Structure 1
């Protein structure tokens, strides 16, 4: 089980939750969320996402990522104008935040950490 903020992802059962609410995700939506939460706090490039989620190194547009990202954000309840979970680092990639950003420019200066399994700090 992977966990960042109040989002949990179970890669073995391919299930995800925000708080106590289970999310209904398509296969690619789950794969995208999993790729981001597995590297929570780290910048993940669009190229890495294309390889990990779509299993390709060739694409003509990043609109595929943008569309799926929009669906995932909506299902998570993460406002794309003031994201608390998934932030875009312009020209670099995406980051699943381990701590909700604060302030207007927080998406480019949020703390970096890693996803942890529940109970790992006990």
Structure 2
């Protein structure tokens, strides 16, 4: 996570400032807990790429052993709600079954037509 410090990252309409630990969706600031911010930052910093659950546990929770994916799932649910991302049909953070999570670089055609 350290290589990304200091650079504001913007993907779709989500903006993350690692130096101030602030997040926005459009013009609205989103208040995230420390772990929620770290999760969003870990994903948006690698937008378009699948980030494995093992990488997230290491980068966000600082553990190198596998405990339970429930920790990630619970925090992901909170993040999706706060960002206004539909938990049933997410457009920002998608789950790639068996591989991990991905922060989508752009909205899919389905998202554009239903927005």
Following superposition of structure 1 onto structure 2, how do residues 46-61 of structure 1 map, counting pairs within 5 Å?
A: 46-61=53-68
Report the number of matched residues. Answer: 104
The residue aligned with 1:44 is 51
| Structure 1: tracts of 5 or more residues without a match | 104-122
Bigger helix fraction? 2
User: RCO (CA 8 Å, sep 6+): is it higher in 1 or 2?
Assistant: 1
TM-score by length of 2: 0.87
1:2 matched to 2:12? no
Could you say what the CA RMSD is over the residues aligned between the two structures, in angstroms?
1.2
Q: What secondary structure, in the 3-state scheme, does the structure 2 residue paired with 1:56 have?
A: coil
Whole-Å Cα distance in 2 between the matches of residues 50 and 41 of structure 1? Answer: 19
TM-score by length of 1: 0.82
| Structure 2: tracts of 5 or more residues without a match | 1-7, 111-115
The residue aligned with 1:77 is 84
Which segments of structure 1 move beyond 6 Å, counting only runs of 4 or more? Answer: none
Q: What secondary structure, in the 3-state scheme, does the structure 2 residue paired with 1:100 have?
A: coil
